[in-house]
Structure 1
Amino acid sequence: MDAPTEEFHAFFDRYYADLSRFAYLLLGDSEGADDLAADALVAVWRRWESVRAGGCPLTYARGVVAGMARTRLRSLMRERRRIALFWSHRPDRVDDPDVSAVLDVRDALARLPLRKRACVVLRHAFDLSEKETARTLGISVGTVKSQTSRGIAELERMLAPARAGSDRAYGTVRALRAGPAGRSGW
């Protein structure tokens, strides 16, 4: 290995945990912090020669982490505002949703593979057509149909054990299948 590569590896080994902890304190999310620290170190690696020549690679890396955290937090805030705006203007919104049922459905959604989850959410939470969903995700309409159908079936299976304690969560998935008119406030 050449000296700059070895030097960067030593830098990575020494400061990754510190940069991850810094990211965690900025974001408040340990999983996101690890990803952010890794992304920052990739950015540092790409400019390693000039960063090293500057004499303060840790300072530079901390600046990259701070900038990426700021970008991520701004993105999250914009997303929260869009969601709040979306729900505040829905005529069929539920004023007092069953919180445990909503949490059950969200947990089940999180366990779906990303493509199925995206299809289910875009089709049923955002009322996109199959064609709009396909265009958004860059997949075929047939894939949207199959992934949505399979995703709803998996949600029903995951939530079926919860039926004994809460028919509401299972009903929420059935309402997803029915479309916007029958949807609960998830």
Structure 2
Amino acid sequence: MDLDVGDAAAEFQDFFERHYAELARLAHLLTGERDAADDLAADALVALWHRWDRVRAAEHPSAYARGVVANMARSRIRSAVRERRRVALFWAHRSERVDDPDVPAIVDIQGALRILPFRKRACVVLRHAFDLSERDTALALGISVGTVKSQTSKGMAELKRLLGSRTATELVGGMR
């Protein structure tokens, strides 16, 4: 049964209203950028609207949407890394360099998350901040459940190492 455009629009609007905040929160936790998170979530929802027939036919539309956000966040992070490298190359050729910059000693949870490679960060965020099951996390990221288990475990171990005596699990869970 095909939906007419009005029915599809109403169905999408309902999906948007139910999932926008969650998708923006996921984007924020993956990128560490609050302003960019709203843009990423909006861009992801535009992309979902353009493929709405495919999305609504998916077994888990919200997992599909999380996957779109994760992929867009990954692309944004890669672009930012490339830009930072270009800036670093520019400044590396300048003569007035500081050899020993003053780096803050305190590492907060967002800073620690940004240190993690994308897949570990995504697994930790989806499992602990979003309380998704291993299966739902695997669906959202397009990876196996075993990969989710290993990446989450390794990510949490790294967070615990980075955060010292603070409990990483409590901090990640407290990001809601």
Query: How does the TM-score come out when normalised to structure 2?
Result: 0.51
AA at the equivalent of 2:79: S
Distance 2:9 2:59 in 1: 16
Question: Residue 56 of structure 1: CA displacement?
Answer: 1.7
Match in the other structure for 1:94: 96
Displacement of 1:57: 1.4
1:16 maps onto 2:5 in alignment: no
d(CA) in 2 for partners of 1:80, 1:24:
19
* TM-superposition CA deviations, 1:36-92 (whole Å, max 9, x none): 0000000000000111012321111100000000000001001101111111013xx
What is the Cα-based RMSD across aligned positions, in Å?
A: 1.6
The structure whose RCO (Cα within 8 Å, separation 6+) is larger is 2
SS in structure 2 at match of 1:55: coil
CA distance in 2, matches of 1:84, 1:7: 47
Higher helix share: 1
Paired amino acid for 1:88: A
2:75 is aligned with 1:71 = yes
**CA distance in 2 between partners of 1:61 and 1:71 (Å):** 15
Q: Does 1:85 align with 2:89?
A: yes
Q: Counterparts of 2:60 and 2:7 in 1: how far apart (Å)?
A: 17
Decide which of 34, 38, 55 is 1:30's aligned counterpart: 34
Equivalent residue, structure 2, for 1:142: none
Q: Does the alignment pair 1:44 with 2:43? A: no
Query: Which portions of structure 1, spanning 4 or more consecutive aligned residues, are displaced by more than 4 angstroms?
Result: none
Which of 6, 10, 14 matches 1:6?
A: 10
Instruction: Please give the per-residue CA displacement for 1:1-56, whole angstroms capped at 9, x wherever unaligned.
Output: 72111010000001000000000000001100000000000000000011101232
Unpaired stretches in structure 2, ≥5 consecutive residues: 99-176
Counterpart secondary structure, 2:96: coil
Secondary structure class of the residue paired with 1:2: helix
Greater radius of gyration (CA): 1
Query: Percent identity of the aligned residues?
Result: 59
Instruction: Tell me the alpha carbon deviations over residues 85-127 of structure 1, each in whole angstroms, 9 at most, x when there is no partner.
Output: 111013xx4335xxxxxxxxxxxxxxxxxxxxxxxxxxxxxxx
Deviations 1:140-170 (A, max 9, x none): xxxxxxxxxxxxxxxxxxxxxxxxxxxxxxx
Gaps of 5+ in 1: 97-186
